[in-house]
Structure 1
Amino acid sequence: MGSKCCRDDNIQKKDEMETAQNPDVSIPPGPEQKASLSQQESKKSQVEEQQAKIESKQIEYAMESEIHQEQEQKPAAASLIQEQQSKVSEIVQSQKMTNEQIKNEVQSKSQTGNCAGSMAKKIKLGVDIFVKLKEGSIGSHYNFGKVLGQGAFGKVWKVTHKTTGLIRAIKQIKKSSIIKEEESRLFSEMNILKNLDHPHIVKLFELFQDENNYYLVTEYLSGGELFDRIKKMSSFSESIAADYIRQILLATVHCHEQKIVHRDLKPENIIFINEDPQSQLKVIDFGTSRKFDNQKVMSKRLGTPYYIAPEVLGHSYNEKCDIWSCGVILYILLCGYPPFVGKTENQILERVKMGKFSFDPEDWDSISKEAKEFITKLLRMDPNKRLSAKQALEDPWLVKYAPSTQVNRKVLDNIRQFQAQTVLKQALMSYMITQMSTQKEIQELQKEFQRLDINNDGFLSKEEFLKGYIQIQNDLKLAEEEVEKILEMIDINRSGQIDFSEFCMAAMNQEKLLSVQRVEQAFKIFDQNGDGFISKKELEAVMGDLGDDVWNQILSDCDNNGDGQISYEEFVKMLKNKKL
């Protein structure tokens, strides 16, 4: 625990110069000042005072760290400029690739003469198909409400979707206010968030840009920050702390499984969905996240001093920097103050580099030995000896407070009855579940998803589904046949496993998902000119460039009168009929 982080003196001096700019900032009291949970609100205000000044330096950290890039990772100047200039096109290109795959598969199936139902099962329709950068006035889609936050780059608004009435949040970013470094991070966040599909990660709905601004449309989380919730609680227990850190770790595992590192996990970036005492948590702000390569270390110094891992300060780290942050968060949850404190930012970082912390008896005697051992495993100086996110979820302390694994039979029955045999029906049901469902509807299903997700990676494999179905189907052979049919039907992005949104699409009661109100709203969203018909151009405005092959296949599935467009009656019949 006492080993020092390896760094050269020049880098250390540079860090000291940076952090010494703010020598008089007050910080949370350390254990020697005996911080109890009842004092937590005052501690929080002190943390916030220091935090506000620290966060103003985040861009400096990013800019400064470029100097210390590892040699094998340092791009040439021309390459860096080219990379920055290509960020906007990456989103568009990823959209084109998705739809190019659709077109190729449709053409291939058309040539072999397979039936429409079989064809629909083979086309890939990921949830990211609906999240593409759109041009035009965002005000034609949303009514703007109150401002939720404001910074140097723009504002965050509470908004209402005009067609569905759903409440969302819009992050407005002024183009004139962001430098190339920040623009690069913005588009990185867009690309990462559009592909993350997990119960404990904030959902990105839409992207817009006009002449002056970029807009990120995300779900609206009204429950407040993690710290704010704890302040309001009259009592606090290890079981609640375990529940909260489990949810954070579940999101972290899902990211790490997809080679994504967050790099700024902290209580301010962990938000409750709503104000319900049983509300779930979501991780937000992926502006500092990135894809990582197991064969290469990362070197950019990003993060927030209280929660930053020592190896990040040494400019050589991997995804386990997120685990260190989780350890700091859990430490604070259980005692009310951080493990590494100081009177200045520089002192905080020096103590992080040392990695020494203690469990003051007055504050920790009532905390279990298992909890303290778990924190120690998360805060090991050597990342190779530190737990991985998956290992952390299997720790005895967390297992002790693990939720029930008994699967709801009704949910499994809904999945067995799910049918969506045409290209358009698959796409529309995916759109309804990802873009039009309420948080309450989804929250009712996420516990069932996590009961089935035995390895906690945020996906359901064939084996995991089979274990769930054996609970209601004792015959192994019949259960295997059932699971094969289910996977073929609901794995609409053809990944070989079931994503969270795919699960929700099939697990939700179909009458509820395809209610009259929701079907009408969906038609209005696609029928953008309001003439009572959906044209190829209008469908593409939501789903991207489909091409003639896919459009012709859609028409053959549901254009009963052959007029080359989809009427409301045809739309309803296609969605409501179980067999098409």
Structure 2
Amino acid sequence: MGICFSADKSEKAEKEKNKKHGDHAAKDQVKNKEQRSKNQSAHVVPLGKRTNFGYGRDFQAKYKLGKLLGHGQFGYTYAATKIGSGENVAVKRIEKKKMLLPISVEDVRREVRILQLLSGHENVVQFYASFEDDDYVYIVMELCEGGELLDRILSKKNGCYSEKDAAELVRQMLKVVARCHLHGVVHRDLKPENFLFKSQRDNTPLKATDFGLSDFIRPGRRFHDIVGSAYYVAPEVLKRKSGPESDVWSIGVITYILLCGKRPFWDKTEAGIFNEVLKKKPEFRIKPWPSISANAKDFVKRLLVKDPRARPTAAQALSHPWVREGGCAPDFPLDIIVLSNMREFVKFSRLKQFAFRALATTLEPEEIHNLRDQFNIIDVDGSGTITLEEIRQALLKDRPWTLKESKVLEIVQAMDANMDGFIDFDEFVAATLHVRQLEELDSEKWQLRTKCAFDKFDKDGDGFISPDEIKEYTGLKGSLDTLLDEADADGDGRISLREFQKLLRQASLGSRTNHHHIQPHLKHPKLLEMHAPSPKISEESSQ
């Protein structure tokens, strides 16, 4: 028994010994695997170092770097001198070893493409050349020695600009944004730090810079990622459904700051800032707002409308009375929403088109001054009417879009109500109306306006539009069942005022808003604020 017990005990001891030995061996195996992984990672060459960007490789032979001007997450900006000519330039030097992922490489390529595309605009920092070597990418640009707009704001008494000076600065910003959007580019990080003055002179031009977060957006698409700077970020960015409208919001925030020296949305925490942006309205009762003109306040309020569909475009904002230079619209690009609305008008049913024409007759001249500006831009020969060729040339300037010649002809035929082969101003207004803006800016006036348009159809005044009244107003013949079904929601064979209003609204929000989205780009937001670093915007998108 004793032997048996002893043998049994020895067997258990041996098993325990082997078990412990196995555990240690397994742990050692894991440690060795982790160490090998670390060693392998240490020897992996970053993607940026393995990428040939196709840029020139003779930077050192052409330029000599000088003092450091600033730095960001991936690189540094220096003053530099062109060897031979002595020309002073700025050089952004980006480290290739920090480009670990394909998106980092694409960000650099895209920034260079955007700078090339916008170069030549008077209010954009000029692009000169791009270079690379084994360690860096070099972007050579115009040197602006006047400092940041932020510094000028802080140097002002109470941090405020006069209305005249503020309007001049805002006009320059809007010109840049309008040009960007016409080329399908959204800046996505507009703030006072990203506008530089060419020199120290008072009347020196303002230049947009830092297109590192900028991106191309395809027609009708939305961005899903959250980028930008906390105090200047638009509500729709936080909702992950943003587009060109977010740049206009940022300019609205900057304008508010220029006029009163304070931020419209402020809190100590990131969550608090976002809550303000999403839910609060800017304050216009505190000093100095009571002494600021009604036009200036109206301008800021329009740019800070939370619904991006109701917010004016950059080109529309340039036509606002507060910004107009000497009472006349300055030279600026075509409005992307005007061109978009022309493309969409041809897709509407005949009933919708007639409804828009009726609505257009209810507008006062001061309500459509921006459309008059756009009409005059397209009417190149100043004849008072727009030809097929003038429409074609205008649509060609909206770079993200390409239209066949036959489609341009269809657009003109849809707009040409009297079929004389030309587009007059009334026909132009009907096709380019922005219904959502009209409804959002004055809901009471919207009710009166749509009732007036409705009454043009409702000849007997019974509060409904019948098929016979549609025929009488439009001149259409034959069966109207299909047209009627589009608006007759309750199926009673006639159209009520509410159904008529819904028809107009659907024409704007249904066809004119495309809810497709692009895949998000993972980026690292730059979050500097006026006096201290802004709370960091978190990025949670996934590709």
Normalized against structure 2, the TM-score is what? 0.51
Pairing 1:232-251 to 2, within 5 Å after superposition: 232-233=155-156, 236-251=161-176
Match among 174, 194, 200 for residue 116 of structure 2: 194
Alignment partner, residue 512 of structure 1 = none
Alignment partner, residue 324 of structure 1 = 249
Answering whether residue 107 of structure 2 is matched by residue 185 of structure 1, we say yes
Answering whether residue 178 of structure 2 is matched by residue 253 of structure 1, we say yes
The Cα of 1:182 is off from its aligned counterpart by: 2.6
Deviation larger for 313-322 or 358-367? 358-367
Pairing 1:113-152 to 2, within 5 Å after superposition: 133-136=55-58, 138-152=59-73
CA distance in 1, matches of 2:327, 2:100: 45
Match among 310, 314, 331 for residue 389 of structure 1: 314
- Indicate if the aligned counterparts of 2:266 and 2:272 stay in contact, CA closer than 8 A: yes
- Indicate if the aligned counterparts of 1:242 and 1:401 stay in contact, CA closer than 8 A: no
The amino acid that maps onto 2:95 is: K
Evaluate the alpha carbon distance shift between residue 238 and residue 341 of structure 1 in structure 2; reply closer, same or farther with a 3 A threshold.
same
- Indicate if the aligned counterparts of 1:323 and 1:389 stay in contact, CA closer than 8 A: yes
Evaluate the alpha carbon distance shift between residue 274 and residue 298 of structure 1 in structure 2; reply closer, same or farther with a 3 A threshold.
same
The amino acid that maps onto 2:197 is: F
Alignment partner, residue 204 of structure 1 = 127
Match among 281, 285, 292 for residue 360 of structure 1: 285
The Cα of 1:179 is off from its aligned counterpart by: 3.0
Answering whether residue 178 of structure 2 is matched by residue 224 of structure 1, we say no
Alignment partner, residue 156 of structure 1 = 77
- Indicate if the aligned counterparts of 1:377 and 1:386 stay in contact, CA closer than 8 A: yes
CA displacement 1:253-281 (0-9 Å, x = unmatched): 00011111111111000111111100010
Alignment partner, residue 338 of structure 1 = 263
The Cα of 1:174 is off from its aligned counterpart by: 1.0
The Cα of 1:154 is off from its aligned counterpart by: 2.9
- Indicate if the aligned counterparts of 1:327 and 1:378 stay in contact, CA closer than 8 A: yes
CA displacement 1:63-96 (0-9 Å, x = unmatched): xxxxxxxxxxxxxxxxxxxxx99x977x75xxxx
Evaluate the alpha carbon distance shift between residue 172 and residue 402 of structure 1 in structure 2; reply closer, same or farther with a 3 A threshold.
farther
CA distance in 1, matches of 2:243, 2:268: 29
Secondary structure at the counterpart of residue 56 of structure 2: strand
Alignment partner, residue 14 of structure 1 = none
The Cα of 1:135 is off from its aligned counterpart by: 1.8
> Where in structure 1 are there 5+ consecutive unaligned residues?
1-83, 93-132, 407-453, 471-494, 498-580
Evaluate the alpha carbon distance shift between residue 182 and residue 380 of structure 1 in structure 2; reply closer, same or farther with a 3 A threshold.
same
Larger RCO (alpha carbons 8 Å, 6+ apart): 1
CA distance in 2, matches of 1:456, 1:156: 39
CA distance in 2, matches of 1:179, 1:243: 42
Evaluate the alpha carbon distance shift between residue 199 and residue 88 of structure 1 in structure 2; reply closer, same or farther with a 3 A threshold.
farther
Evaluate the alpha carbon distance shift between residue 171 and residue 403 of structure 1 in structure 2; reply closer, same or farther with a 3 A threshold.
farther
Answering whether residue 305 of structure 2 is matched by residue 380 of structure 1, we say yes
Secondary structure at the counterpart of residue 205 of structure 1: strand
- Indicate if the aligned counterparts of 2:329 and 2:373 stay in contact, CA closer than 8 A: no
Secondary structure at the counterpart of residue 130 of structure 2: strand
CA distance in 1, matches of 2:275, 2:324: 34
The Cα of 1:385 is off from its aligned counterpart by: 0.6
The amino acid that maps onto 1:220 is: L
Pairing 1:305-324 to 2, within 5 Å after superposition: 305-324=230-249
The Cα of 1:396 is off from its aligned counterpart by: 1.4
CA displacement 1:486-544 (0-9 Å, x = unmatched): xxxxxxxxx999xxxxxxxxxxxxxxxxxxxxxxxxxxxxxxxxxxxxxxxxxxxxxxx
The Cα of 1:186 is off from its aligned counterpart by: 1.4
- Indicate if the aligned counterparts of 1:239 and 1:401 stay in contact, CA closer than 8 A: no
Secondary structure at the counterpart of residue 241 of structure 1: helix
CA distance in 1, matches of 2:97, 2:269: 33
CA distance in 2, matches of 1:155, 1:298: 28
CA distance in 2, matches of 1:297, 1:352: 19
CA displacement 1:214-264 (0-9 Å, x = unmatched): 111010011111121233345731010000000000000000111111111
Secondary structure at the counterpart of residue 222 of structure 1: coil
CA distance in 2, matches of 1:213, 1:362: 49
- Indicate if the aligned counterparts of 2:198 and 2:206 stay in contact, CA closer than 8 A: yes
The amino acid that maps onto 2:135 is: N
The Cα of 1:401 is off from its aligned counterpart by: 5.1
Evaluate the alpha carbon distance shift between residue 151 and residue 264 of structure 1 in structure 2; reply closer, same or farther with a 3 A threshold.
closer
Q: Which has the larger radius of gyration?
A: 2
CA displacement 1:145-166 (0-9 Å, x = unmatched): 2111234423211111112221
Evaluate the alpha carbon distance shift between residue 256 and residue 230 of structure 1 in structure 2; reply closer, same or farther with a 3 A threshold.
same
Match among 276, 290, 294 for residue 351 of structure 1: 276
CA distance in 2, matches of 1:203, 1:283: 9
Alignment partner, residue 417 of structure 1 = none
The amino acid that maps onto 1:374 is: F
> Where in structure 2 are there 5+ consecutive unaligned residues?
1-46, 332-371, 384-394, 398-543
Answering whether residue 139 of structure 2 is matched by residue 213 of structure 1, we say no
The amino acid that maps onto 1:254 is: R
The amino acid that maps onto 2:173 is: I
The Cα of 1:360 is off from its aligned counterpart by: 2.8
Secondary structure at the counterpart of residue 179 of structure 1: coil
CA distance in 1, matches of 2:111, 2:250: 20
CA distance in 1, matches of 2:94, 2:301: 40
| Percent of aligned positions that are identical | 35
CA distance in 1, matches of 2:241, 2:93: 33
CA distance in 2, matches of 1:228, 1:219: 19
Evaluate the alpha carbon distance shift between residue 320 and residue 151 of structure 1 in structure 2; reply closer, same or farther with a 3 A threshold.
closer
CA distance in 2, matches of 1:335, 1:405: 25
- Indicate if the aligned counterparts of 1:243 and 1:401 stay in contact, CA closer than 8 A: no
- Indicate if the aligned counterparts of 1:186 and 1:287 stay in contact, CA closer than 8 A: yes
CA distance in 1, matches of 2:124, 2:255: 19
Count of matched residue pairs: 299
- Indicate if the aligned counterparts of 1:259 and 1:291 stay in contact, CA closer than 8 A: yes
CA displacement 1:382-424 (0-9 Å, x = unmatched): 1111001111000111126557979xxxxxxxxxxxxxxxxxx
The amino acid that maps onto 1:206 is: A
Secondary structure at the counterpart of residue 208 of structure 1: strand
Secondary structure at the counterpart of residue 370 of structure 1: helix
CA distance in 2, matches of 1:461, 1:142: 42
When the two chains are superposed, the root-mean-square deviation of aligned CA atoms in Å is 3.3
Pairing 1:491-530 to 2, within 5 Å after superposition: none
CA displacement 1:290-334 (0-9 Å, x = unmatched): 111222111111111100001100111121000100100000000
Pairing 1:468-487 to 2, within 5 Å after superposition: none
